[in-house]
Structure 1
Amino acid sequence: MIASLLALLLMQVGFDPARGAIPGVPDELRDRPPRDTGIIAAPETAPRPREDYLRRCLNLAASEPEQALDFANTWRLAVEDDLELAQSSHCLGLALVRLDRFEEAREIFEVASAEAPSELPAYRARLAGMAGNAALADGKPATAEPLFAQALTEADLAADAALQASLQIDRARALVASGRPEDAIGALATARAIEPANVRAWLLSATLSRRLERLDEAQQQIEQAATLDPRDPAIGLEAGVIAALAGRDEDARKSFESVIAVAPESEEAMRATAYLEQLAK
């Protein structure tokens, strides 16, 4: 294995602390029965159910974030309960994210989590998680980690395994970015224990183990990820990187070739092609 390939492989396919979707309409608020009253209806349309305003605001946040800020602030003046107050803050936060105003977004997501009713712990958890992701996007992992810990407290109350696992993964990203890889290993192990079929938990575990040069553990973890999702190009790419670093060039070549075959137009395929070129030298 030549030195240039080793250096390239060690740098690639790592944790991205800014990665992580900030969700829109949370699961527990979908398909709620509509109420009869409406607010902020356009003059030419009939009033809409109040639950519709979160979706409308989130749609605006995705396409016209400045308009979403106005919409949400106007909505806040007419809210009827704590849930609507939290929802308006939720939308404000997403609009601020779209405008790359991450510190303000983090602050308003924290407000939203506190505003959300205590009987909706999963929603409170998601909002606190959004605050953590905004802090990560702002390059402040030390601020993000306690927000994810706060979110996990609410997720535990909700007894939502998928949410708990997702938040443990986010917490691991913050811990890695804070230079605490051993703590991140623990967070990922918890995520895998809570939700054994969580592909991302296994993939990121393999990535972190590989970056820590624990190649035997990385190999076991990437094999489990591949068992759960054999066609994910990110998994194939990571498998190839691990194999190459372990000196198993033929296995690495097969993994990289599989990435190109499965997702030829993907970013992973571009990386796999570069690795194959290095292996051929």
Structure 2
Amino acid sequence: MMLILFAALQATAPLSAAPPPAPRPADAAAPTPAERDCLAQARTDPVAAERLVQRVAGVTPRLRQCLGLALVGQQRFAEGAATFAAAAQAAELAHDAAAANYWAQSGNAWLAGGEAMKARGALDAALAAGTLTGLQRGEAHLDRARALVALGDAKAARTDLDQALVSADDDPLAWLLSATLARRSGDLDRARADIAQALRRSPDDASVQLEAGNIAARSGDAEAARTAWQAAVRLAPDAPAGRSAANALRQFDTPEAAK
């Protein structure tokens, strides 16, 4: 029982602390020169992009979006989230379908800043618009699931994760979070199936290997747990996932592990 108990205690990171996907630029009509320059700078020099927006007269929703990207690029997540929300509100007034994507970006930034309740509100607005499709819709469901887990609503999170797996099934994070939630809920068959999908898509992700070890431990397979945790340590020894895996591996050095 020691192996299973220790694994459960070590397994909180993937749902609560996994790095969020990068904010997604909106699909829209051809940008103006200022918008194009800003978007290019936001990727390479977010401080310069912020200054560019400050110099432009008549800030458009897309320039507000670019400012949000620049702020997030500086890890000023709350400011970025509020700026994306302002872009969404301006786009709604202009009857611009990109508003939903700006709301999704706002939710993503709130998540990065640890504000789950605000993230849920922004993502509710993004999905309620009904204009997100394909991968963008799937990623919005995935982000809302992450917010719901942080808020303690596992049932609603499962609904969003199942939606994300339909539209964003190539995203290993969706499978990782689904596997983690299934393990926490005691559905080990689902957990094993979903972590196998995450491993197929991202075998070099330490968080995926950590969770594979946690699921194996909960299933009573000590050798598979050891192998997965060792992989997590090898891949990212100084990252939270690698450190958690290293802590989990220490139980194999105890007298109880030999019994």
Deviations along 1:29-55, one digit per CA (max 9) or x if unpaired, are 59x4x76xxxxxxxxxxxxx3343322
Residue of structure 1 equivalent to 2:228: 255
1:60 offset after TM fit, Å? Answer: 7.0
Matched residue type, 2:27: E
Residue of structure 1 equivalent to 2:257: none
Residue of structure 2 equivalent to 1:208: 181
Identity of aligned residues (%): 31
Residue of structure 2 equivalent to 1:149: 124
Question: Once superposed, what is the RMSD of the aligned Cα atoms?
Answer: 3.1
Q: Equivalents in 2 of 1:256, 1:115: separation in Å?
A: 48
Matched residue type, 1:214: D
Q: Equivalents in 2 of 1:184, 1:139: separation in Å?
A: 17
> What secondary structure does 1:250 align onto?
helix
Which protein is richer in helix relative to its size?
2
In the superposition, relative to structure 1, how do residues 169 and 127 fare at CA in structure 2: closer, same or farther (>3 Å)?
same
- Per the normalisation by structure 2, the TM-score is 0.80
1:270 offset after TM fit, Å? Answer: 4.1
Q: How many residues align?
A: 251
Matched residue type, 1:2: M
Deviations along 1:61-110, one digit per CA (max 9) or x if unpaired, are 63x3xx544421221x145xxxxx01221233234445655444332211
CA contact (8 A) 1:90 1:112 kept: yes
Residue of structure 2 equivalent to 1:169: 142
Q: Equivalents in 1 of 2:74, 2:159: separation in Å?
A: 34
Residue of structure 2 equivalent to 1:54: 38
1:217 offset after TM fit, Å? Answer: 2.3
1:18 offset after TM fit, Å? Answer: 7.6
Matched residue type, 2:55: T
* Structure 1 runs not aligned, ≥5 long: 36-48, 80-84
CA contact (8 A) 2:15 2:149 kept: yes
Residue of structure 2 equivalent to 1:217: 190
CA contact (8 A) 2:14 2:207 kept: no
Residue of structure 2 equivalent to 1:10: 9
CA contact (8 A) 1:73 1:88 kept: no
2:54 paired residue among 73, 90, 98: 73
The reply to whether residue 108 of structure 1 matches residue 83 of structure 2 is: yes
Q: Equivalents in 1 of 2:43, 2:198: separation in Å?
A: 34
Residue of structure 1 equivalent to 2:163: 190
1:207 offset after TM fit, Å? Answer: 1.0
Matched residue type, 1:15: L
Task: Kindly indicate whether structure 1 or structure 2 has the higher relative contact order, using CA contacts under 8 Å at least 6 residues apart.
Answer: 2
Matched residue type, 1:74: R
Q: Equivalents in 2 of 1:202, 1:221: separation in Å?
A: 5
CA contact (8 A) 1:260 1:269 kept: yes
> What secondary structure does 1:15 align onto?
helix
1:181 offset after TM fit, Å? Answer: 0.9
Residue of structure 2 equivalent to 1:278: 251
In the superposition, relative to structure 1, how do residues 204 and 53 fare at CA in structure 2: closer, same or farther (>3 Å)?
same
